[in-house]
Structure 1
Amino acid sequence: MGDPSEAPAKAHIGDQYDVPDFEPHSSVTTLKERIRHHYELASDYYYSLWGQHIHHAYFLSPSDTKETGQTNLINLLLEISALKPATSVLDVGCGIGGTTRHLARDHGCTVTGITISGHQVQIAKRLTREESSSSDDNGGFTPIGTQGGRVRYQELDAEKMDAHFSADTFDAVWISEALSHFPDKPLFFRNAARVLKGNGKLVIADWFKDEDLNQEAMENDIKPIEDGMLLPPLCTQSDYISLAEKAGLKVLHPPKDISKDVAKTW
């Protein structure tokens, strides 16, 4: 019998895809182009690894899979935000459209998904065509599901969304694990406040650093994450509250730390 240690390792489907190398980012000027390049190159890999939802899974029971856990996270945000069915939503940093389609299919929403990556738009449109038997309507939306929901996708730098969407357009702006990539977070909150209707809601899930970290923790723990995950300086949850309020938004629900419940994703 051969030595088991010499047996070839079982291949993972993701091994066929290239993934960008790690390198520290040195300036905001080049950061967004590197983020675009990262998702142009790595989105197929992420799809093979995580499926249609490129975000954490929220594990509520030992029987949860990554797929049910990812849906749990969407449902948690729906529960917290009390987002009404059949409303208009801007899904910022929509990735390959997993959440965009979920909100349309299961909640009857009309959802516009935007991402900085043209390749992600292509994947999102392909996955939508595979799920929907209907063609685009005049507004570029594709009907999906049985509750009247519709989706469309646009390649767009979210920091320029004020030039593409009129004021008072959406009932909700939804952003899940994307805002931490943005160099100018105050601009995002101002833009979100502008495109939201008067009673509209901003729904956020994101990565945060802890409050009151010392310099050693910042250098040893936070800086490698910021560099490796293409994140400008990470914010705390209280930072986001402050930015929201400065943009004229009212905080309707306090921050919820689900770190322990999503850790299994890693």
Structure 2
Amino acid sequence: MSMTIGDAFARLTRGGMPVRFTAFDGSETGPEGAAIGLHLRNERGLAYLLTAPGDLGMARAYVMGDLDVSGVHPGDPYDLLVLLKDNLRFWLPSPGDALSILRDLGPGRLRPPPPPRQEQLPRWRRTLEGLRHSMARDAEVIAHHYDVSNHFYELVLGPSMAYTCALFERPDASLEEAQAAKFDLVCRKLALEPGQRLLDVGCGWGGMVRHAAREYGVRSLGVTLSLRQAQWAKAAIDREGLGDLAEVRHLDYRDVMENGFDAVSSIGLTEHVGVRNHRAYFTHLRERLRPGGRLLNHCITRSHNRRQETGPFIDRYVFPDGELIGSGSIIRAAQDAGLEVQHSENLRQHYALTLAEWCRNLETNWDECVAEVGESTARIWGLYMAGSRIGFERGELELHHVLATRAAETGPAPFPLRPDWRP
């Protein structure tokens, strides 16, 4: 009797499938009556699963619509991912099982189909085609992620257009309240006052630039590598009548040569810089500050300081060339660049809450999001945000604020005996 697809996957998964799995050949495996199910629709999906066992193969089949999910919404597949993360383990079959699977399913199914169009080349192929973290290559990968569609981001992020961790001062705070609280905390940590100058690197759609100008009377300059972000931010600045205080440029942060800024904020840029470049990055930002000025670095970090590449799904579909490291390495790089680190804070739990809100927006606006960017891209975003939420909930990922100062000409920068901002 020939092996069915369900039989094959029962053998390839240690402990069996934790969800109900059905396939186009009529076979099935996994617990009967399960609340969540996976259905393999066609031969191409099977080839994806067999030629890239694990997360990447499942992602390819799911993104292409060859693997359907029931019991969860594609805008927020959180419950499915928790179940798979806790219970699904692929393992190498014995030689006998491998031969049986190959014979019964057919060797032709081991020919990899073309990957989804959204998938970037593997890391090693990209390295052959351009120096990692060169200005040109950084511009390409930023465009890959951020130039999807401004309207799509409006639907997912909400009116704030803030694509970074929010600050929930109370559990029932709205996403908009939490994003405003985040920007305000950064402003307070930087001790901004009317008339001062702020540089915001990696400014996105200009949320920090506009908040600092509107609420603190600060002359704010933001720079972003995304042309669409810069265009949206400029329009928002004009709409709010902030043109005399706020400016956003389409520019690499390394090309900012002005100096004498009272404060520098970097909210979500460090992840794109590259760990080997952190000292040069902090050195460049230090040189933009006046003596005594403050720098606030807000970035995703790991729970350890070992070098570790991002997984294939995140690297190929979400943040090509993105690199994360622990807060200890971030602090060391800042210190090695001549900055005095004054304070560090972990906002890990807040990012889990932020991602849950973004998934809720994606689910609520699913049809419009699909109309804007296509179902495959919308599915990628649901996977990425729900999976990231799990990482922050479980402490695999963290979010750190690191506040530092540039020394004054006569010695260390003056700093209060206790923090001068409200926690």
TM class, shorter-length: 0.7 to 0.9
1:125 aligned partner, one-letter code? K
Instruction: Give unmatched runs, 5+ long, in structure 1.
Output: 1-9, 13-19, 135-141, 144-149
Superposed, 1:88-99 pairs within 5 Å as: 88-99=197-208
Q: Tell me the alpha carbon deviations over residues 92-148 of structure 1, each in whole angstroms, 9 at most, x when there is no partner.
A: 01111111100000011000010011221111111112111x7xxxxxxx13xxxxx
Superposed, 1:1-80 pairs within 5 Å as: 21-23=118-120, 24-26=122-124, 27=127, 28=132, 29=134, 30-50=137-157, 51=159, 52-80=161-189
Q: Distance in 1 between matches of 2:279 and 2:139?
A: 16
Secondary structure at 1:250's aligned position in 2? strand
Q: CA deviation at 1:233?
A: 2.5
Q: Is 1:259 matched up with 2:354?
A: no
Contact 1:91–1:112, Cα closer than 8 Å, also in 2: yes
Q: Distance in 2 between matches of 1:108 and 1:93?
A: 21
Q: Is 1:186 matched up with 2:279?
A: yes
Seen in structure 2, the aligned counterparts of structure 1 residues 223 and 174 have a Cα distance that, compared at 3 Å, is same
Report what 2:333 is aligned to.
243
Q: Is 1:120 matched up with 2:229?
A: yes
Percent identity over paired residues: 27
TM-score, normalised by the number of residues in structure 2: 0.49
Contact 1:89–1:171, Cα closer than 8 Å, also in 2: yes
Contact 1:91–1:175, Cα closer than 8 Å, also in 2: yes
2:240 aligned partner, one-letter code? E
Instruction: Give unmatched runs, 5+ long, in structure 2.
Output: 1-72, 76-116, 356-423
Report what 1:15 is aligned to.
none
Q: Is 1:198 matched up with 2:291?
A: yes
Aligned-residue RMSD, C-alpha = 2.6
Contact 1:54–1:98, Cα closer than 8 Å, also in 2: no
Seen in structure 2, the aligned counterparts of structure 1 residues 38 and 232 have a Cα distance that, compared at 3 Å, is closer
Contact 1:91–1:100, Cα closer than 8 Å, also in 2: yes
Secondary structure at 2:170's aligned position in 1? coil
Secondary structure at 1:198's aligned position in 2? strand
Q: Distance in 1 between matches of 2:193 and 2:314?
A: 35
Report what 1:229 is aligned to.
319
Q: Distance in 1 between matches of 2:283 and 2:313?
A: 27
Q: CA deviation at 1:80?
A: 3.1
Q: CA deviation at 1:226?
A: 5.4
Seen in structure 2, the aligned counterparts of structure 1 residues 64 and 38 have a Cα distance that, compared at 3 Å, is same
| Number of residue equivalences | 227
1:206 aligned partner, one-letter code? C
Superposed, 1:157-172 pairs within 5 Å as: 157-161=252-256, 164-165=257-258, 167=259, 169-172=260-263
Rg bigger for which structure?
2
Q: Distance in 1 between matches of 2:220 and 2:185?
A: 18
